[in-house]
Structure 1
């Protein structure tokens, strides 16, 4: 089974992949889609849609885990994030990939043991759990792999 975790963003979109066999992690990796190449939001959303589709075609995940939307002080940021999530959900739906959603708090609790953990703590624990060979610079990549790990823990202990 392959689980893809996706941390939506309008500048960087993180994605992480876990390959599972008989409740064991065989392979793991994560990276980001750099959307800053787009001049404006519609162009960045198109880049995101195309990149997500390329990733889905290459890795053929069995299930997708997407971070649910959370409340933010900047209302404009919430709308932009919602549009990025919509593009991701559309790509997943068009590829017939089931979708599960977890809040940032649920992911932090599953990966670190503390729902208020910092991004650095998530990064550290993801590295401890899967020992990545390629270590991306962006926290969004680790957040996405954390999403996949959160779901892996849910199905493993269910």
Structure 2
């Protein structure tokens, strides 16, 4: 199964291609689609649509997992991101992808098991789950990878559990917030 993960935006659209074969996840590619803020919105949307179609044609994913919109302080931002999401979903539908949507909370829980996880904690888990040497950059692409992993987990009912989970320390679980270092120590049992 091949998943196209999408972190929508107007200036930057993060994307990822993740395979799930024989109960193993493999990162195939990731990156961003960029548009110039000085271009008219219709031109930016066309760039997003065309580049996304090229990615779909190149990698032939079966599924598209996209982040749902959440509350923005700026109404203009939410409208433009909504327009970008629209052309992204259109590109997926036009290419017969199975489309699923996930809230930021669902992604945090799907990756870390903790709904209040910090962005750095999510990124660290992406690195750990996929056994990468470093955290993927830029953040928009890392978010798209997390969305694809969340989709795989939701389809297969998986949740990442470290191999040393029987000795997992719970000393910091009473905190409502923990640093990325504390989270790493908790997960890696160091």
TM-score by length of 2: 0.77
Aligned length: 158
Q: What's 1:126 paired with?
A: 126
**Larger gyration radius, structure 1 or structure 2:** 2
The 3 A distance-change label for structure 1 pair 110 and 103 is same
How much has 1:26 moved relative to structure 2? 3.6
Contact 1:107/1:150 (CA < 8 Å) preserved in 2?
yes
Does residue 65 (structure 1) correspond to residue 65 (structure 2)? The answer is yes
Match of 2:86 in 1: 86
1:65-98 CA distance string (max 9 Å, x none): 0111111111111101100000001111110111
Cα distance in structure 1, aligned partners of 2:94 and 2:58: 15
Flag as ranges the 4+ runs of structure 1 deviating above 6 A: none
Q: Deviations over 1:47-81 (max 9, x none)?
A: 10011000000000011101111111111111011
SS of residue in 2 equivalent to 1:70: coil
SS in 1 for 2:127: helix
Partner of 2:137: 137
Gaps of 5+ in 1: none
RMSD over equivalenced CA pairs, Å = 1.8
* Deviation of 1:22 (Å): 2.3
